[in-house]
A and B are shown apart, each in its own frame.
Chain A
């Protein structure tokens, strides 16, 4: 480690919970001692899609470890590179642990250019907003009729029965999302209801989502994008909630499913997680708790 790098780490660690600093620093080492016992089983039919960058690889590894640990089965993982991963040696560690397929940005781009030819608005937005990969790329890299969308900053502490059940039923085409106390949607419920003709899903968070892909209609997303940008006169490209808003519109139009119970599948800004919770999405302001609380809880469960 160069002195400059060390200084960067010291400065970055100032004011952080010491447990978070330690757990993050030892993250790869702890995972390298773990052997995923379900790694070589037949993968589930429903794949997991994760959008991540270089900075999120370790979080992704812990998120996937916790999910495999709690579900006790093998999952196929599609890791959508936001463009920053490139050739990263940590991919070898991830591949050793999970059945991962990396979708390099350089090869996803031409695919999207062709496949989303009729949706220039979505394509432009995707080019400027990496979070849009969660919508566009997940829909176009058509790996299975249903997919599980997970953010790297989600951890599982209990068995997610609802998700396992959903994944196990081929004919279950319901949509499920994390529930957030504050509605992150860009458009108010009344407008959605008026436009879509069905009730809006308030408080939808796409950090954890069970998606039947036929419910994600990119052509309609393009229409909504045009309609609502005119309506609000705002720049969509600067709005990081746009992908969640589009998912909320898709969910409202689909109308089947709902939000996962917030007590079990937690998205909150509280410092402590719900002890009986199944998962927690460590959003923005509590991101450090991912390491200080989440990984601290899970590290003992990863036995060699």
Chain B
């Protein structure tokens, strides 16, 4: 009980207030029937029971700002219950849930001769971001969006990427570089310079990003072997994207796609990623702004 109270209050009283203030509105929100269906690109989420509430906000703002109904793949970690699944089902008629056990039976056989990838996947669930999505997703390209992202304006860059059938990977740019690797190590181990400040919280990826042979080799290299576990998928993505595009720079979402800081969303904010230490701002700043922005959230 005490744990539940602490968990509820972990982002402060204002966060609790905002969460409950707008909860009824969010619950009443449905995808408008006139929204066209997206067929080419799947939306992939990695969600656990404690992220369902945030994922609802993310999906509501995403669906509203894009004006489309998207096929969704939810990789559960840990598994959701039926009630939690139902809360997400209303955002798409084409939503697929994959439990950790199902992922195990579907993904692990495909990694039979890849011990390093398998070990990485077994080591931490975060590996699913870069290992499971390519293997589970039916479409050739997908959007990977964390539950702690909110959209405030039409994400034109992502829609263009989707419509133009682009094979160029796109990432939101992180506030700082998370890959601690020197130039000489890059040349020695990867033969390319990884994309800088890659964050996988909001990314548009083609299937070609998943290069199992190279992943297997890269995961043996000291820079990746010793990378911070939580950041390893994005480090891997940064190298894979650079190798895929032969080192050409780019692949960064425009400045409107922001990593949240203490400043409130401004007129340029298309999307904000409330990661780590500023997670509380998702509730204190993000939700009220999202409720204002998403005009058809019933009041």
Binding site for B on A (CB under 8 A): 42-43, 47, 78-79, 95, 99-104, 106-111, 113-115, 141-143
Contacts and interface: CB of A to CB of B under 8 A. Distances in A.
Given A95-B228, A99-B180, A101-B227, A109 B222 contact: no
A104 B182 contact: no
Contacts of B220: 111, 115
Given A42-B182, A43-B182, A143 B222 contact: yes
B222 A142 contact: yes
A110 B228 contact: no
B123 interface: yes
A104 B229 contact: yes
B226 A114 contact: no
Contacts of B219: 107
Nearest to A102: B226
A107 B124 CA distance: 11
Contacts of B180: 99, 101
B223 A107 contact: no
Contact of A101 (B118, B122, B123, B226): B226
Contact of B225 (A95, A99, A108): A108
Contacts of A109: 119
Contact of A110 (B118, B223, B226, B229): B118
10 contacts: A79-B226, A95-B228, A101-B227, A103-B222, A107-B116, A107-B219, A110-B119, A111-B115, A141-B222, A142-B222
Contacts of A143: 222
- Sorting the interface of chain B by its residue count into under 10, 10 to 19, 20 to 34 or 35 or more gives 10 to 19
A178 B218 CA distance: 34
A123 B248 CA distance: 42
B133 interface: no
B274 interface: no
A47 B188 CA distance: 15
Contact of A106 (B122, B182, B227): B122
Given A101-B227, A113-B115, A107 B120 contact: yes
Interface in B203-240: 219-220, 222-223, 225-229
A42 B77 CA distance: 38
Contact of B116 (A78, A95, A111): A111
Interface in B76-123: 115-116, 118-120, 122-123
B228 A103 contact: no
B118 A107 contact: no
A114 B219 CA distance: 13
Contacts of A103: 222, 225-226
B84 to A, nearest CB: 25
A78 B225 CA distance: 10
Nearest to B122: A106
B222 A106 contact: no
B3 to A, nearest CB: 16
B222 A110 contact: no
Nearest to A114: B115
B125 to A, nearest CB: 12
